[in-house]
A and B are shown apart, each in its own frame.
Chain A
Amino acid sequence: MRRDIRTAAAALLILTILLGFGYSLALTGISQVLFGDRADGSRVTDEGRVAGSKLIGQDFSDDDSYFQSRPSASGYAGDATAFSNLGPNSRRLARQLSARADAYLKLEGPYNAGLTRAEIPPDAVMTSASGVDPMISVANARIQANRVAAVREMPVAEVDALIDEHTTGRGLGFLGEPGVNVLELNLALDGVEPR
């Protein structure tokens, strides 16, 4: 027994040094050299300052000249992420979804004649898992494009072209789902010279 304890203690000490410090720190060093930007959080800059990460969605709900991110259960906190955790038969969830659908129709309806609830893409009203999903569906972006174009007084075709540019397809052509990166798209919109 005592022998076992001695062996175990020595093994634990050496393995903690190897796996706790050696492994993590060596990988940090190698990652910083090989993929510095990505290892540091894929930061995006706007007018020279860090304006977020292209992988972390932001809140645009106060400004209808921007594309809107998916709803978030955590207020788009990138440092305190949380699920909504509302169950499939939750009355609270049904009320939230209904209220968000109303808001979506109120915001986009005037620019999309005849838009109905049944046509709202689920990603537009259902909270993401991370609360900071950087993407929306292409269908959602196409609907929002009409509003953004009108508010910014741009041709819809130009906005649609920007959507295409910031759409990530499926991995290897068939993995996951396509999505439009909202922050990058909005940054690109801001970069368009007003005419």
Chain B
Amino acid sequence: MTANGWIQIGFYLAVLVALTPLLGRYMARVYTGERVVLTPLLAPAERFFYRAIGTRAESGQDWRSYARSVLVFSALSWLLLYLILRTQGIQPLNPQGFGSAPWDVAFNATSSFVSNTNWQFYGGETTMSYFSQMVGLAVQNFLSAAVGMAVLIAVIRGIVSRGSHDLGNFWVDLTRSLLYVLLPISILGALFLVSQGVVQTLDGYLDVSTLAGGRQGIALGPAASQIAIKQLGTNGGGFFNVNSSMPFENPTALSNFVEVVFILLIPAALTATFGKMVGSARQGWAIFVTMLVLLLVGIGVSYAGEQAGSPAQDAAGITASADGAGSTGGNLEGKEQRFGIASSTEWAAITTAASNGSVNSSLDSYTGVGGVVPLINMLTGEVIFGGVGSGLYGMLLFVLLAVFIAGLMVGRTPEYLGKKIEAKEIKLVMIGTLVVPLLVLVLTAVAISTKWGAVSIFNAGPQGFSETLYAYGSQGNNNGSAFAGYTGFVQPNAPGNAGSFGITFADLLGGFAMLIGRFVPLLAALAVAGSLAGKRIAPAGPGTLRTDNGTFVLLLIFVIVVVAALTFFPALLLGPIGQGLTERLF
């Protein structure tokens, strides 16, 4: 590890800490309907939109009504995207003449983008037309992110509500997330990315004669517009197959920095939004610090693991270390020179802590130690910042669990922010925190033990198991990154989409995992909020457990780690940890 590497990581964290309260307070103003700098410009558009869709902005919804709106909107989004992918062949803006997606790949991809997962069992530039990317996928990048943010705001309203069952209006929260937050930041981000070299064009692909006399195809497309929102909305689905390692998605160290800031920007800032809305910035910071500590450990471990190199390279005698003579050293298999080890591992830890899942290096080639970090970050339930909105409402479920456990220990009725936490809420919390881990374990077991799951595995030995665990861990937790040897599609004749056909088993299993992983915790969080909304707020007394100090942060970290460790430690031993402990080759 180099001093320069740590400077990069430190600088990143400093920027994140500085931006969190700025954007967080802005979003709190947006969601409470206060005037912000964009209001004069956007308020008329907002009013027009509410009239057009037939909603009254003032009318609130209880949790059931809010949840129904979320589900209906997501279901229609699913249908539209599925339709677009299935009829790609007859649509315009398809310069490469790609055919329509097969039903199973389309099922997986649609579930993936609607659930804010962006797991990809397809290669972008070899299967997707510009129309599908722009009108199908990019739109869901926005909408699934906005749905997550809206639900979080509703949950916060439930926590602070003084006896009213009103959680706000879903259509208003959705619209404000899009117009005031996601869209303006995406526009700025996309323009910056183009200035760095990310492509944004409707021209067809290039076919050039290279300098050395060969031929090379070069994919183009309207990429920058999609990449900005893919990072900002913790979506992560690449425009190109190799995601943000492709120079046309991420050409420079600067574009890399801005993209990786975008990944955590909103999930981090929402902790400050939470603090503002509950009337105590410290409550927001306590959650932020919890997330930050877990993230930092991950970055450090992953960086150390990759810089130490892999058993395969040791066996081949490639042992050069990072030195002043301009070499990165370490395990550079599947990493780009311009990012090196530090920027690659930093990204890997951040993209899996957030439920983003875009990558700037190939995680399947990470060492056992380096690769266990992305896995653990996902398997803790995507609450280390997590997805936009979904990360914080997931974390709030863990907060309630921590409060409950602390209450058991001291023998007092647990309270959070003045609200009593009782049996009903804890039952819902258990559903919200345990359904997904259970699902991941069961699906991994089914996939690893049957012949239908085995065909997707690429690497031999423990890595094959890791690929499987990663696939269902990633899809179940709505992350979307992959040990990408694990495949649900085969393209014998790529490029051209001529022979894309699905491994139906993987497509279906993954698709269901993503839908359950998205909507069960979402509904559980809304139900908890609905239940808390009706309770009165008790004033804090001397015996009240404080949830804004270091002791509580430690307790919360402990609860998160224990739940994940109890659930997944045996599985992790079989895969990455096993490999990290041996120099053996498979």
Contacts and interface: CB of A to CB of B under 8 A. Distances in A.
A88 B253 contact: no
Interface residues of A, number: 109
Interface in B20-77: 49, 52-55, 68-69, 72-73, 76-77
Nearest to A20: B135
A160 interface: no
B416 interface: no
A20 B139 contact: yes
A27 interface: yes
13 contacts: A4-B68, A8-B76, A32-B200, A66-B211, A84-B362, A86-B364, A89-B583, A90-B461, A123-B328, A125-B318, A126-B334, A175-B253, A177-B337
Contacts of B117: none
B252 interface: yes
Interface string B331-345: 111111111100100
A190 B583 CA distance: 45
Interface of A: 1, 3-12, 14-16, 19-21, 23-25, 27-28, 30-32, 34-35, 38-43, 46, 49-53, 55-56, 58-60, 62-63, 66, 70, 76-91, 93-95, 97-98, 101, 117-123, 125-142, 168, 170-172, 174-179, 183, 186-187, 190
B76 A98 contact: no
Given A19-B142, A27-B200, A56-B248, 13 more contacts: A15-B139, A35-B195, A62-B214, A66-B212, A82-B242, A87-B312, A88-B311, A89-B312, A129-B334, A132-B247, A133-B247, A139-B323, A140-B327
A39 B332 contact: no
A86 B365 contact: yes
A38 B213 CA distance: 24
Contacts, number: 424
Interface in B252-273: 252-254, 256-257
B540 interface: no
A5 B55 CA distance: 12
Contacts of A66: 211-212
Given A88-B311, A123-B327, A175-B8, A24 B134 contact: yes
A87 B333 CA distance: 9
Contacts of B53: 7, 10-11, 14
A88 B314 CA distance: 10
Interface stretch (B219-227, B285-293, B420-428, B553-561): B219-227
Interface residues of B, number: 132
A128 B85 CA distance: 31
A108 to B, nearest CB: 14
Contact of A27 (B224, B256, B335): B224
B148 to A, nearest CB: 15
A31 B123 contact: no
A122 B320 contact: yes
B362 A16 contact: no
A59 B206 contact: no
Contacts of A91: 312, 460, 585-586
A34 to B, nearest CB: 7
Contacts of A35: 194-195
A7 B54 contact: yes
A195 B220 CA distance: 40
A168 B135 CA distance: 36
Q: B194, B226, B331 — which one has the most chain A CB atoms within 10 A of its CB?
A: B194
Contacts of A58: 210-212, 214, 216
